[in-house]
Amino acid sequence: MDIHFTPEEQAFRDEVRAFLTSELPADIASRVRLGRRLTKDDHLHWQRILNRRGWYAVNWPEAYGGTGWTVVQKHIFEEECAAFGAPRIISFGVNMVAPVIIRFGSEAQKSWYLPRILSGEDWWCQGYSEPGAGSDLAGLKTRAERDGDHYVVNGQKTWTTLGQHANRIFCLVRTDTSARKQEGISFLLIDMDSPGITVRPIITLDGEHEVNEVFFDNVRVPVGNLVGEENRGWTCAKYLLTHERTGQAGIGLSKAALAHLKDIAARERNGGGMLVDDPLFRARIAEVEMRLMAVEMSTLRILAATRDGGVPGAESSLLKIQGSEIRQAISDLTRKALGPNALPFLEEELNPGFDDFPLYRNYSAAPASQYFNLRKLSIYGGSNEIQKNIIAKRLLEL
Amino acid sequence: MDFNLNEEQQMLSDTIQRLVRNTYGFEQREAFYRSDTGDSPEFWRQLSELGITSVPIAQAYDGFGGSGVESMVVMKELGRGLCLESYLHSQIYGAGLVQQLGSPDQCQRILPAVAAGDCRLAVADEEAGSHYHVDRIECRATPCERGWRLNGRKRVVIGGERARYLLVTAHIDGTEGVSLFILDPKSEGVSRIGYPCADGPQACDLLLEDIYVEADDLLGHPGGALSALHYQRGRAMAAQCAEALGSMEEAFRLTLDYLKTRQQFGSPISGFQVLQHRMADMRGELELATSMTILAACVADDPGSGERSRKLTAAKFITARASQMIAEQAIQLHGGIGMTWEYALAHHAKRLVMLTHQFGDDDFHLGGYSALLDVPGRANHN
Ligand SMILES: Cc1cc2nc3c(=O)[nH]c(=O)nc-3n(C[C@H](O)[C@H](O)[C@H](O)COP(=O)(O)OP(=O)(O)OC[C@H]3O[C@@H](n4cnc5c(N)ncnc54)[C@H](O)[C@@H]3O)c2cc1C
């Protein structure tokens, strides 16, 4: 056993740092650090820089343009990107639909879609959840009926993250209503420009436009857009979900958020002294830091035990719970660190293009909003209650 | 001991409950929030017509002379309705400070108008670095001919833009302690930068650059405001516990209703034992918060003492913890719906959490209570 990084891994870290130092645009990094809103262009810009270096599709096999990195390399990369303030990778294309296409898709689908994901031509969103199908995803009702060379899709998806930016959506649709719940579902790739699709914003409690409703009214989708076999979509869905959950541990993001918290606590006054010197607040930071250390080690341990990066369901559930709770705990402390300064809701200070003088500090507008926004971490990707059900059933065999 | 409201208090409760229900539906609230004033002048007018603005104010100044219990009754309903008006900061905290520190002339000049609802107050006691410590401020008052000049910056003055008078804390050069000044925000040179708070109400930053206030705009004597500030913050905390309680009750109710109607896996999610236990835990927190709100209301007007401070601190601590737990779990149990702006629950969650950013959060009061801790044979740390 040896938990130290090898000289090769150290060298890799230096290489990543050098890359980030020279390539990450400073204005974008500053927006990320301060918790401000990013534009679609910010994301695309960073994506293109990564892709030029061949570091965008870190989870793909090399044959398709992936990196072939080890688990440890991916971890180092994620950690450094977050520490430098790189935008988080929007997973829907590169880390969700792509692994499904690589695993279950046809050659034609691979050669058409994968390059477009790498180049940023396609922005994907995820059409799983419906108003009546959240935790009970297999209860979904959106119908796809075969009509010649097309499926005709009718129904509604909801909570579609960044659907307003997307030109493509991957959907779970019901192709057989007579079969058992999980068995009549198919995995369909749909062009968002198709006639009959309407996207409506949902504004979240922090005033953010991050999620949407997507309506399908007689949308015609070529049968060639089916991934895998008809009525076997549930297999794709489950494969994708474990990928989604592993990514959600978000250790790099937590570490960056913790560093930001310390920075704020060292700059916020607590009456006379600095908040970071207040014994109680300091102890609270210490507590999350120790816990984060444990979650990081657990993530590395569990990921290292798997070869292809696809994590067994129950373990990815453990990581998802621990990872989301620690991020929420850090966001809670960051909000608290600001005391009364957390109260003002200054949306304009969060919007792109704001480089005016902030009313108080450049970091003070985001923490309350972010704390509320991050409540989502324990809800999406399978709620933490659902993860515990999985652990109880699969890991504990109860 | 008697834990029941008397007949008059029950009537007050019914009156305000009805008013809030009729004028503060969620959609109306959203319209008030988006309006120029950020609240409802019409609702305020109705509060004044029904005499509710006068409830916490002494009878000598045309008030109703209500106790902490009457304030609790009012604040609980304002909390349930997520009201945006700064009743607490004006009628309870602000008016309390004037009443306790002001000369008969000052009280006469201000309080009857406050009681009538014609004039609102706002207290400017927090600064960027004060972090809930009212005594650790940097704002200065320099004596000048026939008055004072104020310099400094106050943060997050709740209701500050709508207030007729601001009550501003400052250190007077060369004296110990904190002083409190009445400031007319229309005075030359005063600038206010307004914004909504994360939970809806309007607040402002207050920039004071050589602002002249007259000699008789000092409340109390130089350096003599601190004990009144602590005392009145205690009353405000008691009232705020009630505001949080009203909001917690509503968040709890909405969640319970939702669990019974939301179907997943072919049945209402209220059937899942983990959710039942979570609701039971929330119910426990609600119970503790209810008890401590009552305790706080009943000691709020007692003479200042270590015992009173301990009880009010404990009430704020328990209520803050309960508020955050209920806010977070109410969202969690709703799933995605709980995070949407369109649904009142999300705004209750925001109110519950952001209330902990006024008058001290749970950590502040944990520290405060530790300092006051009564250990036989040892002096406490205060
Ligand atoms: C910000 C955000 C972004 C999202 N982005 C996307 C997206 O891009 N694409 C997409 O398809 N979806 C997305 N989602 C949807 C997300 O996956 C669902 O919200 C999630 O699956 C929960 O479903 P629900 O909201 O309907 O809650 P429900 O399933 O109704 O759950 C309500 C509560 O009941 C609990 N519960 C449900 N079933 C059980 C059970 N069997 N045992 C115990 N407890 C249970 C849940 O844990 C929760 O606490 C997003 C959600 C959010 C909040």
B335 C-alpha to ligand 1 centroid (Å): 5
| Residue A207 Cα, gap to closest chain B Cα (Å) | 7
Distance, in Å, from the CA atom of A396 to the CA atom of A91, rounded to the nearest integer, reads 30
- Residue spans of the domains in chain B: they are 7-119, 122-219, 226-374
- Cα separations in angstroms, A276 against A339, B321, B369: 13, 22, 20
B282 C-alpha to ligand 1 centroid (Å): 20
Structure tokens at B13: 């409760």
Angle among Cα A37, A42, A48 to the nearest 5 degrees reads 150
Q: Give this prediction's pTM.
A: 0.97
Distance, in Å, from the CA atom of A71 to the CA atom of A83, rounded to the nearest integer, reads 18
Structure tokens at A245: 């959950």
Distance from CA of residue A272 to its chain's centroid? 40
What amino acid is encoded at A32 in this protein? V
Neighbours of B116 (CB within 10 A): 17
A341–B156 C-beta distance less than 8 A: yes
Position A333 pLDDT exceeds 80: yes
Q: Which helix (H) or strand (E) holds A49?
A: helix A40-53
Q: pLDDT per residue over A55-91, tens digit each?
A: 999 989 999 999 999 888 999 999 999 999 999 999 9
- Cα separations in angstroms, B244 against B39, B154, B252: 19, 25, 12
Q: pLDDT per residue over A334-373, tens digit each?
A: 999 999 999 999 999 999 878 778 999 999 999 999 999 9
Q: Is A315 at the interface with chain B, CB within 8 A?
A: no
- The torsion angles phi and psi of A220, rounded to 5 degrees, stand at -95, 125
| Strands in chain B per DSSP E | 121-124, 140-144, 147-158, 165-172, 179-183, 191-196, 202-214, 218-219, 263-264, 267-268
- Residue bearing tokens 């067994």: A312
Mutate to test the interface with B, among A341, A348, A349, A389 (most CBs of B within 10 A): A341
Predicted local distance difference test score (pLDDT) of residue A179:
84
What amino acid is encoded at B179 in this protein? S
Give the residue on A whose Cα is nearest the Cα of B273: A385
We find that the CATH architecture of domain B226-374 is Up-down Bundle (1.20)
Predicted local distance difference test score (pLDDT) of residue B295:
98
Predicted local distance difference test score (pLDDT) of residue B379:
78
Q: Is A345 at the interface with chain B, CB within 8 A?
A: yes
Residue window 304-343, chain B: list those with CB within 8 Å of chain A.
Answer: 328, 331-332, 335-336, 338-342
**Per CATH, which fold does B7-119 belong to?**
Butyryl-Coa Dehydrogenase, subunit A; domain 1 (1.10.540)
- Residue bearing tokens 């834990």: B3
B131–A270 C-beta distance less than 8 A: yes
- Cα separations in angstroms, B307 against B112, B295, B300, B314: 32, 12, 11, 11
Predicted local distance difference test score (pLDDT) of residue A390:
93
Q: pLDDT per residue over A23-43, tens digit each?
A: 999 999 999 999 999 999 999
Residue window 156-215, chain B: list those with CB within 8 Å of chain A.
Answer: 156, 193, 195-198, 203, 205
**Predicted confidence band at A238 (pLDDT cuts at 50, 70, 90)?**
confident
Give the residue on B whose Cα is nearest the Cα of A328: B328
| Residue B197 Cα, gap to closest chain A Cα (Å) | 4
Position A247 pLDDT exceeds 70: no
Burial class (CB in 10 A: 0-12, 13-18, 19+), A193: exposed
Structure tokens at A340: 């009364």
Distance, in Å, from the CA atom of B342 to the CA atom of A346, rounded to the nearest integer, reads 20
Task: State what percent of residues in chain A have pLDDT above 90.
Answer: 86
Distance, in Å, from the CA atom of B146 to the CA atom of B166, rounded to the nearest integer, reads 20
Rounded to 10°, the helix A71-84/A7-23 angle is 30
Helix, strand and coil content of chain B, in percent to the nearest 5, comes to 55, 15, 30
- Cα separations in angstroms, A383 against A302, A321, A374: 21, 9, 13
- Cα separations in angstroms, A274 against A264, A271, A288, B135: 10, 8, 19, 16
| Residue B336 Cα, gap to closest chain A Cα (Å) | 7
3-state secondary structure B159-178: CCCCCCEEEEEEEECCCCCE
B251 C-alpha to ligand 1 centroid (Å): 19
Structure tokens at B142: 């320099």
Predicted local distance difference test score (pLDDT) of residue A64:
95
Q: Within 13 Å of residue B224, how many CA atoms lie on the same side as its CB?
A: 9
- Cα separations in angstroms, B261 against A135, A213, B45, B47, B338: 15, 21, 38, 36, 14
Domain B122-219 class, CATH top level: mainly beta
Residues across chain B: 382
Residue A129 Cβ inside 6 Å of ligand 1? The answer reads yes
CB B226 within 8 A of CB B220: no
Write out chain B's pLDDT in tens, 382 residues: 889 999 999 999 999 999 999 999 999 999 999 999 999 999 999 999 999 999 999 999 999 999 999 999 999 999 999 999 999 999 999 999 999 999 999 999 999 999 999 999 999 999 999 999 999 999 999 999 999 999 999 999 999 999 999 999 999 998 889 999 999 999 999 999 999 999 999 999 999 999 999 999 999 999 999 999 999 999 999 999 999 999 999 999 999 999 999 999 999 999 999 999 999 999 999 999 999 999 999 999 999 999 999 999 999 999 999 999 999 999 999 999 999 999 999 999 999 999 999 999 999 999 999 999 989 988 777 6
CB A163 within 8 A of CB A214: yes
Position A248 pLDDT exceeds 80: no
B335–A135 C-beta distance less than 8 A: yes
**Predicted confidence band at A2 (pLDDT cuts at 50, 70, 90)?**
confident
Distance from CA of residue A291 to its chain's centroid? 22
Predicted local distance difference test score (pLDDT) of residue B33:
98
CA torsion angle B69 B73 B75 B81 (round to 10):
170
Distance, in Å, from the CA atom of B185 to the CA atom of A377, rounded to the nearest integer, reads 44
Strand pairing category for A209-222 and A226-227: unpaired
Position A313 pLDDT exceeds 80: no
**Predicted confidence band at A121 (pLDDT cuts at 50, 70, 90)?**
very high
Question: Mean of the per-residue pLDDT values for chain A?
Answer: 94
**Predicted confidence band at A244 (pLDDT cuts at 50, 70, 90)?**
low
Q: Summarize the confidence of residues A291-308 as an average pLDDT.
A: 84
ipTM score assigned to the predicted complex: 0.97
**DSSP of B154-222, one letter per residue?**
EEEEETTTT-SEEEEEEEETT--SBEEEEE-TTSTT-EEEEEEBTTS-EEEEEEEEEEEEEGGGEESST
- The torsion angles phi and psi of A136, rounded to 5 degrees, stand at -90, 70
